[in-house]
Amino acid sequence: MKLAVVGLDSAYWPMAFADAARKVGAELVLACDLWRRKAEVTSQIGMTPEAYCERYKVRLVHSLDAVAADAQACFVCTRNTRMTKVVVDLLGRGKPVYVAKPVAVNTGDMAAILKALKDSGLVCAAGQTARSSYVIRTACRLIREGHVGEVLSVRVAHQHGCFARWNKNWWYTDPKEGDAFDWLGWYAIDGVLALTGSRIKRITGAARRHLANFDDMPDLIRGTAVLEDGRIATMEIHFTVGNWKVGWAEIEVVGTKGVLRSIGPRNDIVLLCDGGPKTFPLDKGEEPLPLEVRSWLNAIGGRGAPVFSLKQAAHIVHTACAWKKAARQATWVNVGNA
């Protein structure tokens, strides 16, 4: 299957998607810069569109017409405010997409994507997810095997990057493109969904800017959520750290048989139970993003389902929007249905 990377104006995803395609043996043939200026692309990925194409041995195109002519499926990773138009256009042309998280930063854009998805009937995916991370994958296996008993409550803390040291030229610093509720809340919310198997019904929270030097951009966020089945979950986003060795995801799963926790740079998992603490190694296996890309491609070919579909992603978008509103208004907010 011939693949294209659509959007080179994103700080991380153009390289991540191309590398993942290589690792799963997919045929990456095109990169589309969506007619963005070279200076804009370079400010995001640190190289010109031509240099990117040379690195990955793909052909540079500028328009979605050119993409549609030669690619069979697409990675989409442009600015959040440009994402919806691109995704809807590609779906209308019959191209399955894998869309970089957070897919959308408002519920209106997400609704437009879902309508185009329904009309197309295509197999599409979104991510990278938290559920594909080594720590969440391992914790879910331990839950399935009954190590913690019935899951009563969970806590998910996510950290990556340091807002205070971000490149000010990145579009992520533009408030119109969302904030940590959207980009990093994606991982905390998905961690809760994966560990509990339940969606979020309502949420409250608080956020502050401590170290980051961008106006109105919170770098510490906390939230409490009530799930649809009545259980309680807490979520944390830490965007303030420097070079501390903090785990990508730190979790706590409280069950009827014990408490499962992960902490530290390797996300070591420990079960605290009546028989004393037990340590479990992480299930490594395939790397998270290649795992998701492979499952998406297999699903397009009629073999299974993607790890996380665009339809599933809509619940995260709705939850992130509700979380942000709750923090700003200091109240509880119901999570709307996608």
Q: What is the pLDDT along the chain (338 residues), one digit of tens a residue?
A: 999 999 999 989 999 999 999 999 999 999 999 999 999 999 999 999 999 999 999 999 999 999 999 999 999 999 999 999 999 999 999 999 999 999 999 999 999 999 999 999 999 999 999 999 999 999 999 999 999 999 999 999 998 877 777 777 888 888 899 999 999 999 999 999 999 999 999 999 999 988 766 667 888 999 999 999 999 999 999 887 777 777 888 999 999 999 999 988 888 899 999 999 999 999 989 999 999 999 999 999 999 999 999 999 999 999 999 999 999 999 999 998 87
CATH number of 2-129+290-309: 3.40.50.720
DSSP state of 335: P
Taking the model in full, what pTM does it have?
A: 0.96
* Alpha-helical runs (H) found in 121-246: 134-144, 180-183, 185-196
pLDDT reported for residue 7: 98
pLDDT reported for residue 78: 96
- CB < 8 Å & 24+ apart, contacts of 209-217: 210/240, 211/163, 211/164, 211/240, 212/163, 212/164, 212/166, 212/239, 212/240, 213/164, 214/163, 214/166, 214/168, 214/173, 215/175, 216/175, 216/179, 217/163, 217/173, 217/175, 217/179, 217/180
pLDDT reported for residue 215: 65
pLDDT reported for residue 5: 98
Domain ranges of the chain: 2-129+290-309, 134-285+317-334
pLDDT reported for residue 281: 93
pLDDT reported for residue 89: 98
271 sits in which H/E element: strand 268-273
Alpha-carbon gap, residue 316 to 200, rounded angstroms:
9
Classify domain 134-285+317-334 at the CATH superfamily level: Dihydrodipicolinate Reductase; domain 2 (3.30.360.10)
- Residues linked to residue 154 through DSSP beta bridges, in sequence order: 233, 253
